[in-house]
Amino acid sequence: MEKIVSLCKRRGFIFQSSEIYGGLNGVWDYGPLGVELKNNLKQYWWQVTVRDRDDVIGLDGAILTHPAVLKASGHVDTFTDPMVDCRTCKARLRADQLSEKNGVKQCPNCGGKDLTEARPFNLMFQTQMGASADPASIAYLRPETAQSIFVQFKNVLDVSRKKLPFGIAQIGKAFRNEINPRNFTFRSREFEQMELEYFCRPEQGMDLLAYWLKERIKFYEEIGISRKRLHILDVPEKERAFYSKGTFDIEYEFPFGRQELEGVAYRTDYDLQQHIKASGKTLDYFDEETKERFVPHVVEPSAGVDRTVLALICDAYAEDTAPDEKGKMETRIVMRFHPRMAPIKCAIFPLLRNKESLVTKARQVQAILRPHMNVFYDEGGAIGRRYRRQDEIGTPFGVTIDFETLGEKGEELRDTVTLRDRDSMKQERVAIKDLPQLISSKIR
Ligand code: GAP
C-alpha cells in the first residue's frame, strides 16, 4: 500500500486535500491522471448502465437535501456508527474497529484500555440554508445518491413513460462524517457513488437481484479487475437491513484486506413506502395491462467510484524487469490498466527533440490522434526513459516517430511509426493513417 500511495502522489493520481495546511482528514483531491482515470470509470459505468440499455434513464440530483427526505428514509434517526472515546489519548474510535488483547478491548492508537461506553454517532454532515440559524434552516449533505432517485420517482416515471422493470441511475458525490477514515481513499468523508435503483414487480425482485449481481461482476471484469481478487459475500439475514430480502457485497482483495466495493441489495418497496407515508404523495405505478396500481419494489446495485478507482490502481500495479538504455535489465514499475481505463491512451515520442522534421511529424501524429483519445506528447530524455515514465502511469501504447517515418530509410517506410505495447514491450511498424482505428479498437 505504501508503494501505491507514494506512486499516486508522485505521478499525480491522488493528493491529500488541503495538504499545504496539514491536510483535511478523510478528504482527497484527484490530480491530472486521477481525474482522467475516474472520468473513464464513470463514463464506462454510464455507458453500460444507461446508454446501452432501453430500460434505464439517468438523474443528477442535488447534494443539499431537505431534512424531511432523510427523516423519512431513516437516516436522521438511525444512520449511525457506534463511537467510543479513549480517555487516555482522547481519540474517537469506532466501537466495532477496536483492537483486543487477552479479550480486553483497547485503543488502537495508544493501547489504553480506559474507554467510554459506545454511543451512536450520526454520520451525516449538517449545514444551514440561508441567513437564519434556526432549526428550520437545517439541510444535509446527502449521505447517498439513492434518496433523490426515490423522491423523484414519480417525476421521472411521468416524463419517461417507462414500463416496469426499469431503472434510474445516478453518479454523484455523497458525504459521511466517518469516525475513523482510513486505508487511503477507501473510507473517505467525501466520495462518489454510482447507483442504480431498478424498479420492478414484487415477484421479480429475487431474480433481478441475481441478474444484477452477475451484471456487476461482468462490469468489474470489463474494466480489467481480475476476477480472482473479486469475492461475493451473501450477507446473512441478521446483518442485512431489516427491509432487505437479499444483499450481496462485491468485495475486492485490497492490500489491506478483503473489503466491500459495492452492495447489490433487494430493498423491497421500503424506500418508496417511507416517502409515501411521510409526504402524503402517491409514488406508485399503474400497470396498463393488468389495471393494477401498486408500489414497485427495487433492486439496488450501489458502487463506490473512489473505491473502484483504488481497486483499479491496486490491481494494475506491477513490477517486472525491462532493459535500460544500455540493455541492462532493471526493475520497471508498470500500471497494467485495461486500455479502456488508462488515463492516457497513447504517448507520442519524436526520436530526437532537436531534429525539427521529427518534432513536426510527431506533432502532426498528435493532432491526428487527439480527437479520438487522450494523448500525451513527450520529447524529453532518452527514449527508454520516456517509455518507462509512461509504463509507470499505465499508458498502453507508445508511438515513436523516427527516421524511417521521414522516409530516410527507404520510401516504403515513409509515414510509418513504431507502435509499442506497454505489457509485452513489443514494437510493430504501423502506417500513421491506420493508427486512430487500430488504437481506438483497443480502448473502447
Ligand atoms: N444506497 C446504498 C448505499 O449507500 P452503502 O453500502 O452505504 O450503500 C454503497 O454504500 C457504496 O458506496 C459502498 O459499497 C462503497 O463503495 C461506497 N462507500 C460508502 N461509504 C464510503 C466511504 N466512506 N468512502 C468511500 N466509499 C464509500
User: Is 315 touching ligand 1 by the criterion CB < 6 Å?
Assistant: no
Question: Residue 23: how many CB atoms within 10 A of its CB?
Answer: 13
Q: What is the largest CA-CA distance in the chain?
A: 82
Predicted confidence (pLDDT) at residue 197 exceeds the cutoff of 90: yes
What spacing in Å lies between the alpha carbon of 303 and ligand 1's midpoint?
Answer: 7
Q: Tell me, yes or no, if the pTM score tops 0.85.
A: yes
Task: Give the model's confidence band at 133: pLDDT under 50 very low, under 70 low, under 90 confident, else very high.
Answer: confident
Provide DSSP, 49-72: IIIT-SSEEE----SEE-HHHHHH
How much is the mean pLDDT over the chain?
A: 96
Ligand 1 atom nearest residue 146's Cα: 1
Ligand 1 atom nearest residue 178's Cα: 23
The mean pLDDT value for 127-146 works out to: 92
- The helix/strand/coil state of 275 is helix
d(CA 142, CA 224): 30
d(CA 176, CA 174): 7
Question: Residue 380: how many CB atoms within 10 A of its CB?
Answer: 9
Q: Which residues pair with 333 in a beta bridge?
A: 319
What spacing in Å lies between the alpha carbon of 183 and ligand 1's midpoint?
Answer: 14
pLDDT one-digit tens code per residue, 69-107 = 999 999 999 999 999 999 999 999 999 888 888 889 999
pLDDT one-digit tens code per residue, 1-42 = 999 999 999 999 999 999 999 999 999 999 999 999 999 999
pLDDT one-digit tens code per residue, 303-336 = 999 999 999 999 999 999 988 777 888 899 999 9
Predicted local distance difference test score (pLDDT) of residue 324: 78
d(CA 376, CA 345): 8
Cell numbers 450520526: residue = 122
- Is the backbone peptide bond immediately before 436 cis, with ω within 30 degrees of 0? no
User: Are the C-beta atoms of 255 and 248 separated by less than 8 Å?
Assistant: no
User: Are the C-beta atoms of 95 and 108 separated by less than 8 Å?
Assistant: no
Nearest CA to ligand 1 atom 9: 302
pLDDT one-digit tens code per residue, 352-400 = 999 999 999 999 999 999 999 999 999 999 999 999 999 999 999 999 9
What spacing in Å lies between the alpha carbon of 320 and ligand 1's midpoint?
Answer: 34
- For a mutational test of ligand 1's pocket, the pick from 28, 124, 144, i.e. the residue with the most ligand atoms closer than 8 A to its C-beta, is 144
The pairing of strands 190-200 and 166-175 is: antiparallel
- For a mutational test of ligand 1's pocket, the pick from 14, 190, 260, 310, i.e. the residue with the most ligand atoms closer than 8 A to its C-beta, is 260
Ligand 1 atom nearest residue 193's Cα: 12
Nearest CA to ligand 1 atom 15: 304
User: Is 390 touching ligand 1 by the criterion CB < 6 Å?
Assistant: no
What spacing in Å lies between the alpha carbon of 192 and ligand 1's midpoint?
Answer: 8
Predicted local distance difference test score (pLDDT) of residue 262: 98
User: Is 304 touching ligand 1 by the criterion CB < 6 Å?
Assistant: yes
d(CA 54, CA 162): 9
- Residues in CB range of 331: below 8 A, 6 or more apart: 319, 320, 321
User: Is 144 touching ligand 1 by the criterion CB < 6 Å?
Assistant: yes
Torsion of CA 42, 43, 44, 49, to 10 degrees: 80
Predicted confidence (pLDDT) at residue 349 exceeds the cutoff of 80: yes
User: Are the C-beta atoms of 107 and 115 separated by less than 8 Å?
Assistant: yes
Please give the backbone phi and psi of residue 29, each rounded to the nearest 5 degrees, phi first: -110, 140
User: Is 193 touching ligand 1 by the criterion CB < 6 Å?
Assistant: yes
User: Is 308 touching ligand 1 by the criterion CB < 6 Å?
Assistant: no
Exposed/middle/buried for 238, CB within 10 Å: 0-12, 13-18, 19+?
exposed
Cell numbers 413506502: residue = 273
Q: How far, in whole angstroms, is CA 296 from its chain's centroid?
A: 28
Helix axes 435-443, 356-369, angle to 10 degrees: 50
Question: Residue 191: how many CB atoms within 10 A of its CB?
Answer: 21
Least confident window among 141-155, 319-333, 398-412: 319-333
User: Is 79 touching ligand 1 by the criterion CB < 6 Å?
Assistant: no
